[in-house]
């Protein structure tokens, strides 16, 4: 007989739940904007581009989060600059920039003697989150979530109708870069939990699930957060009982939720 509440008897599991819920809610809200903006690949690009920043921060002896954020921001700004000053499409630019930065990060990592584990950077280690990282995640994650929710109507407008945003004299370029900055911060916060690779799913799947349910944005936010938080808690608990990769279990539960909703939608003929 499986004891459902057994994981909650351990402090490291409770910390994992706290971190997971914050990361899930933050990524779910941002995923709604990325889906509407057509920037799903941007999360993939930034998440891979943070690797050289992490290695350089380690070499310089500064917090890894600072290096990761600056590297991710550089990727986002470079992508926007090249797109605005060339005929190359945005998805092509992102592919070139993030693969180049990721490759640079791998070269740096292979040439740097350190006690860092590449698998922890790539797939995360939410069960090994230190207490100071728990508070760091809660504080930064809450700030990202708060800013996104306060500016949600302006951000929605630049995602849905950028022409109307300019007519209304909104600073669309500033808001675009702000959204990219928030995504970069979210990825940095999520690295410890789910790693570089799986954070992409956290930034895409919840918004996709919600978009299958409704076309109303406020409802989309609620559904995305509910789906992300519930699947994160379920994934952590499942990983405890099957002794599997926690980040992978979280993303797998989210993928199953997406497939379930997609199947129901197809079955209903909508």
Interval 208-266: pLDDT, tens? 999 988 888 889 999 999 999 999 988 888 888 888 888 888 889 999 999 998 888 76
Task: Tell me the pLDDT of the chain averaged across its residues.
Answer: 82
**pTM given for the model:** 0.83
> Are the CB atoms for 99 and 51 separated by under 8 Å?
no
d(CA 17, CA 22): 9
The pLDDT of residue 137 is 82
162 against 78, higher pLDDT: 78
Q: In 10 A of CB 85, how many CB atoms?
A: 8
Residue 198: burial class (beta carbons within 10 Å; 0-12, 13-18, 19+):
buried
Mean pLDDT, rounded, for 80-85:
79
Q: Which of 2-11, 38-47, 190-199, 223-232 has the highest mean pLDDT?
A: 223-232
φ/ψ of 125, rounded to 5, equals: -155, 65
pLDDT digits (tens, 9 = 90+) for 103-128: 998 888 888 777 666 666 776 777 77
User: Can you tell me which residue has the tokens 């889906």?
Assistant: 35
Average pLDDT, integer, range 30-41 = 84
Is residue 100 classed exposed, middle or buried when 0-12, 13-18 and 19+ CB atoms within 10 A define those classes?
middle
Burial code (b: 16+ CB inside 10 Å, e: under 16) for 17-37 equals: bebbbbbbbbbbbbbbbbbbb
Give the HSE-up count for residue 239: Cα atoms under 13 Å, Cβ half-sphere. Answer: 23
Containing H/E element for 206? Answer: helix 205-213
Choose among 254, 252, 159, 265: nearest CA to 212. 265
Query: What is 6-264's CATH superfamily?
Result: ABC transporter involved in vitamin B12 uptake, BtuC (1.10.3470.10)
């Amino acid at each position: 007989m499986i004891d459902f509440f057994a994981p909650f008897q351990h402090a490291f599991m409770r910390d994992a739940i706290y971190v997971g819920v914050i990361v899930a809610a933050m990524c779910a809200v941002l995923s709604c904007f990325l889906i509407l903006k057509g920037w799903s690949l941007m999360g993939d690009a930034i998440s891979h581009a943070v690797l050289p920043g992490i290695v350089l921060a380690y070499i310089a002896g500064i917090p890894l989060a600072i290096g990761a954020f600056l590297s991710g921001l550089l990727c986002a700004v470079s992508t926007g600059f090249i797109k605005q000053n060339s005929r190359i499409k945005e998805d092509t630019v992102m592919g070139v920039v993030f693969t180049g930065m990721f490759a640079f990060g791998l070269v740096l990592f292979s040439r740097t003697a350190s006690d860092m584990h590449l698998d922890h950077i790539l797939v995360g280690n939410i069960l090994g989150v230190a207490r100071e990282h728990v508070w760091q995640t809660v504080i930064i994650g809450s700030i990202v979530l708060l800013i996104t929710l306060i500016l949600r109507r302006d951000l929605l407008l630049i995602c849905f109708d950028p022409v109307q945003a300019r007519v209304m004299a909104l600073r669309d370029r500033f808001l675009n870069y702000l959204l990219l900055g928030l995504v970069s911060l979210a990825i940095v916060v999520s690295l410890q939990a789910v790693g570089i690779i799986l954070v992409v799913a956290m930034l895409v799947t919840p918004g996709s699930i919600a978009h299958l349910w409704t076309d109303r944005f406020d409802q989309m936010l609620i559904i995305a957060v509910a789906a992300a938080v519930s699947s994160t808690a379920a994934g952590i608990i499942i990983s405890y009982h099957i002794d599997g990769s926690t980040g992978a279990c979280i993303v797998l539960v989210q993928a199953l939720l997406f497939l379930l909703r997609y199947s129901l939608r197809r079955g209903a003929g909508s």
